[in-house]
């Protein structure tokens, strides 16, 4: 089974992504870290049982010889919510049950965190990256546990796609989370609503 793990906001620079999310949600992001294998870095925000990351290419790291995850090499425009990531207990089994192109297992680490993630060869997840990235955490450590609770909670994650029915079918019986809604749309879209200590906000 898959469980919603975290959301990713992509940006050309980390500072611009952090500024956009803090302006939208009214809450300061917390420290993240670097991913040397992907030449990216991030900042984080706790959402209770999950978290949000702002992620961008790391200008201090050499560009990898392979495409970065979340299709960051082709990212353009303002910072925005681009990806959702689902947690699993058996990464190989979930890859086998997923559409082609979901990626191959890659072992990663940052500080005390150890995880494996399915990373597509071209950086692009199925359904124009509307399909979730797949992650398997190694051990009990998880970023959501270490982040301050700022009272921010995900209410709804709406994923729009021209092939919404096919996307729902690809996840049928694998993900059961009332916060996730896959809807018909003329183009791929992604929008998240949050309850904050002050008001309902969205990205």
Per-residue confidence (pLDDT) for residue 112, from 0 to 100: 84
Per-residue confidence (pLDDT) for residue 153, from 0 to 100: 97
Strands 30-35 and 40-46: antiparallel
Superfamily of the domain at 3-148: 2,3-Dihydroxybiphenyl 1,2-Dioxygenase, domain 1 (3.10.180.10)
Per-residue confidence (pLDDT) for residue 42, from 0 to 100: 96
Residues 6+ apart with CB under 8 A from 94: 2, 88, 118, 134, 174
In a 13 Å sphere around the CA of 190, the CA atoms on its Cβ side amount to 17
Residues 6+ apart with CB under 8 A from 64: 37, 38, 39
Sign of CA dihedral 27, 46, 83, 108: positive
Q: Which residues of the chain have pLDDT under 50?
A: none
The domain locations on the chain are 3-148
DSSP string, 80-146: EEEEEEEE-S-HHHHHHTSPTTS-EEEEEEETTEEEEEEE-TTS--HHHHTSPEEEEE-SS--HHHH
The enclosing H or E element of 43 equals strand 40-46
The DSSP secondary-structure symbol of 35 reads E
Is residue 50 within 8 Å of 6, Cβ to Cβ? yes
């Amino acid at each position: 089974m898959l469980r919603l793990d975290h959301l990713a906001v992509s940006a050309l620079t980390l500072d611009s992504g952090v500024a956009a999310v803090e302006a939208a949600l009214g809450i300061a992001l917390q420290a993240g870290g670097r991913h040397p294998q992907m030449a990216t870095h991030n900042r984080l925000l706790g959402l209770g049982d999950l978290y949000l990351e702002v992620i961008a290419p790391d200008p201090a790291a050499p560009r990898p010889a392979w495409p970065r995850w979340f299709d960051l090499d082709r990212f353009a425009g303002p910072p925005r919510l681009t990806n959702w990531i689902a947690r699993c207990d058996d990464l190989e089994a979930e890859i086998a049950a997923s559409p082609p192109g979901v990626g191959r297992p890659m072992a990663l680490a940052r500080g005390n965190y150890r995880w494996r993630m399915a990373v597509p060869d071209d950086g692009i997840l199925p359904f124009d990256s509307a399909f979730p990235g797949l992650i398997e955490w190694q051990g009990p450590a998880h970023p959501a546990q270490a982040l301050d609770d700022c009272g921010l909670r995900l209410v709804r994650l709406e994923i729009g796609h021209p092939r919404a029915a096919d996307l729902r079918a690809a996840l049928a019986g694998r993900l059961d989370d009332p916060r996730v809604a896959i809807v018909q749309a003329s183009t791929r879209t992604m929008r998240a609503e949050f309850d904050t200590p002050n008001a309902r906000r969205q990205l």
